[in-house]
Amino acid sequence: MGKAVGGPRILAITSEKGGVGKSTLAVHLAGALTERGLKVVLVDEDGRVGSSIRWAERGAKHGGLGFPVLDPDGAKPKVLAASDVIVIDTEGRPKRKELRALAERADLLLVPSGVSALEGEATRELVDYLDGQGPAAQNLRVVLCRVPPVGNAAEEVREELRDAGMRVCNTVIRQYAAYTKAAELGLLARDVRDPRAQSAWADVVTLAQELI
Ligand SMILES: Nc1ncnc2c1ncn2[C@@H]1O[C@H](COP(=O)(O)OP(=O)(O)O)[C@@H](O)[C@H]1O
Ligand SMILES: [Mg+2]
């Protein structure tokens, strides 16, 4: 799967820490882009519990996600080539070599980060490494995730990260139980019964517009 001019856009998601919300972001961005009418394939390079493939499997009995979620071996070149966007969900904590390779083949490398001091530090380490790798870092964006809906934690962290020279998305993904419910049911936050489901969905739609 390489970058090709005029071919599908490749949007890869990785992080230095596990549990920051990569799979949640991958599934929801793929959903938001599909809703816009784009042909999206989600490739899951993780495959463990909590990964996107398992997410799609749980959702199959409720009507499904609306886009295919494939493992790297099941992702046929023809299917990939026919798509507008390929979203790649990864295991996280990548080895440095893998990280560089991922950055090189992606048009956009998204790094979700929590807003705690430790998560910010982990994100900074990963971004610092990529910055030292030249052009690979150009396509990197930090997305603040699991942001408390109340207070201004995100603004503070965004300023800090931007002062350190990182590109941080304006849109943040707030912390909502709707995302956890969506994961449990194998659906998108848009489609779960929850008072904040539409707020959760709105964050993802806005982020998708900012990115693609
Ligand atoms: N924005 C969010 N709001 C609330 N819970 C979230 C959010 N993002 C992720 N989670 C929850 O955090 C946990 C880890 O998320 P996940 O997407 O599996 O992370 P990763 O793929 O990075 O390991 C899951 O239980 C998920 O439901
Ligand atoms: Mg995951």
* Burial class of residue 67 in the structure, from the number of CB atoms within 10 Å of its CB (0-12 exposed, 13-18 middle, 19+ buried): buried
Contacts 24+ apart (CB under 8 A), 151-154: 153/115, 154/115
Residue nearest to atom 24 of ligand 1 (CA): 180
CA of residue 34 to ligand 1 center, whole Å: 21
Q: Which ligand is the nearest neighbour of the Cα of 192? A: 1
- pLDDT, one tens digit per residue, over 147-179 is 999 999 999 999 999 998 899 999 999 999 999
Atom of ligand 1 nearest to the CA of 27: 17
- pLDDT, one tens digit per residue, over 77-87 is 999 999 999 99
Nearest-CA neighbor of 129 among 91, 100, 101?
100
Topology, domain 9-204: Rossmann fold (3.40.50)
Atom of ligand 1 nearest to the CA of 175: 3
Q: Which residues contact 43 (CB under 8 A, 6 or more apart)?
A: 1, 69, 70, 71, 72, 75, 80, 86, 87, 88, 89
Per domain, the residue ranges of the chain are 9-204
pTM: 0.95
- pLDDT, one tens digit per residue, over 114-125 is 999 899 899 999
Of the candidate ranges 72-76, 172-176, 198-202, the one whose mean pLDDT is the lowest? 72-76
Is residue 182 within 8 A of residue 50, CB to CB? The reply is: no
CA of residue 6 to ligand 1 center, whole Å: 33
For residue 149, how many other CB atoms are within 10 A of its CB? Answer: 13
Kindly list the protein residues whose Cβ atom lies closer than 6 A to any atom of ligand 1. 15, 18-24, 50, 92, 145-146, 173, 175-176, 179-180, 183
Structure tokens at 205: 């739609």
Residue 135 has pLDDT above 90, yes or no: no
